[in-house]
Amino acid sequence: MDMGDEVKVFGSWGSPFSRRVELALLLKGVPYEYIEEDIFVFENKSPLLLQYNPVHKKVPVLLHNGKPIAESLVILEYIEETWKANPILPEDPYDKAMARFWAKFLDDKCLPAIRKAAFSPENEREEAAEEVRDCLKTLESALNGKRFFGGDAIGMVDIAANFVGFWLRIIQEVTGEELLSVEKLPELFKWTEEFVSCSVVKKCLPPKDKVLDVVKARVAPK
Amino acid sequence: MAEEVKLFKTWSSRFSLRVVWAFKIKGIDYESIDEDLSNKSDLLLHYNPVYKKVPVLVHNGNPISESTVILEYIDDTWKQNPLLPEDPVERARQRFWAKFNEENLLPTIWAIFTTEGKDLEEAMAAWVENLKFVEEELKGKKLFGGEKLGVADLVFGWLANLIGIFEEVSGLKIVDERYPLLLTWMQVFSELPVIKETWPPHDKMITKYQALYEKYHPAK
């Protein structure tokens, strides 16, 4: 590791996206300075964040020796290419492509479906929940008997799936909709338990009760 | 053993064209399978069960879907004429802009094409915001990839062909003189030897998008 390396993460305690970045850095043993941003009130975002991510004005932003990188999956690729310890992507180009495919699937399909299931008005929730269950069934196929999406150790897809591993259960609790059941998705359910049990992941999860409060405030009442 | 490189595409798909360009840039021979999306082949559905879309690359029996994933795979597998530079910061920059195109530009252009009245106004306002950033990004650069063609150029490539078609069909001005760098890029990109003459037939495109436009803007 470069002795002169300056690594900063602009994040938010409750954001799965900024937690992804922190998880990757922790996994690779990269020390970083963390800057907490208030993402709930736009006016509270720091001038630095707006300077480093003028396009989206969002967390996370990784600042490496003064150079800003935005968008969590782009940041994960950057981290992988910059710090070689504990790789989060496979070496083989095809396996790498599969990892990228599933990470993209998580953000393009699973995440919007879960958001809809969580925050839609009550009468739209059941249909949205069905869409989530379909997404998760598809996602489960990527596990293919492995302990993690990355194989024996967590990789980029596991990191990207952090909102399935942790946030999803909280959303289920609040909405009362069954999204990830042990009966219908046993492999994926088992993965969530393996994921949150990882010591490095545990260091990188927000306090459950705080997340519960945020979700409760956003979910439309029954 | 002969290498099997198959590309499932359609004649008009801007996403498939990205892969065609990548193969051209690297001089890779491939077999082209043209799909009719209203009647998808069993093979396509077999190789892309998740999205059931084109493009799909099948390399020695292994299928890869999602054009940006395919582009990275091609770059990882065939090392000549790299689509991404070595420097991680530059790689991140191009990936960021590729994502911006997919998640911001494309949905907005679709909204411009398919909506009217207040929705169209909102879409245009969003488009103007988007283009400001794109124009800024092109400052001091010949291409989105910098000096050389990169993944970001291939992903933005659709603009160089489809903007003209959308403007002709809709009568709207979509990229105007406020964006001189983008207009120049569209010109430069189209003139590149690997890109020249790869566009789908103009008349066929006008017919296709005219019909689509009328579907969303029925005569009152």
Please list every residue in chain B whose beta carbon sits closer than 8 Å to the beta carbon of residue A64.
Answer: 89
pLDDT digits (tens, 9 = 90+) for B157-184: 999 999 999 999 999 999 999 999 999 9
Task: Inspect the interface and report whether the beta carbons of B72 and A100 lie closer than 8 Å.
Answer: yes
Q: Which residues from A are below 8 Å from B66, CB to CB?
A: 100-101, 104
Query: What CA–CA distance (Å, rounded) separates A188 from A181?
Result: 9
Search chain B and give the residue with CA nearest A94. Answer: B73
pLDDT digits (tens, 9 = 90+) for B141-158: 999 999 999 999 999 999
3-state secondary structure of A209: helix
ipTM score for this prediction: 0.97
| DSSP assignments along chain B, one per residue | ----EEEEE-SS-HHHHHHHHHHHHHT---EEEE--TTS--HHHHHH-TTT--S-EEEETTEEEESHHHHHHHHHHH--SS-SS-S-HHHHHHHHHHHHHIIIIIHHHHHHHHH--HHHHHHHHHHHHHHHHHHHHHTTT-SBTTBTS--HHHHHHTHHHHHHHHHHHHH----S-TT-HHHHHHHHHHHHSTTTTT-SPPHHHHHHHHHHHHHHHS---
| pLDDT of res. A2 | 55
Q: Does B6 contact chain A (CB < 8 Å)?
A: no
- What local confidence, expressed as pLDDT, does residue B142 receive? 92
Q: Which structure tokens are listed for A155? A: 């990789």
The pTM (predicted TM-score) of the whole model is 0.97
Q: How far is CA B143 from CA A134, B21, B94, B147, in A?
A: 41, 15, 11, 6
What is the separation, in whole angstroms, between the first and last Cα of chain A?
A: 52
**pLDDT value of residue A222:** 59
- Judged on CB neighbours under 10 Å (0-12, 13-18, 19+), A117 is buried
CA distance B53 to B61: 18
Query: Is A94–B65 a contact, with Cβ atoms under 8 angstroms apart?
Result: no
Say if B66 is an interface residue toward chain A (CB within 8 Å): yes
The answer to whether residue B100 neighbours chain A at the CB level (below 8 Å) is: yes
Question: Chain A residues with CB inside 8 Å of B99's CB?
Answer: 71, 73-74
Closest residue to B69, CB basis, from A64, A71, A104 = A104
Q: Which of B74, B64, B96, B63 is nearest to B20 (CA)?
A: B74
Partner residue opposite A74 with nearest CB, options B65, B77, B95 = B95
Confidence (pLDDT) at A42? 81
Asked whether the beta carbons of residue A101 and residue B68 sit closer than 8 angstroms, the reply is: no
Per-residue pLDDT of chain A (222 residues; tens, 9 = 90+): 555 799 999 999 999 999 999 999 999 999 999 999 998 888 889 999 999 999 999 999 999 999 999 999 999 999 999 999 999 999 999 999 999 999 999 999 999 999 999 998 888 888 999 999 999 999 999 999 999 999 999 999 999 999 999 999 999 999 988 999 999 999 999 999 999 999 999 999 999 999 999 999 988 765
Name the nearest CA neighbour of A163 among A112, A221, A210: A112
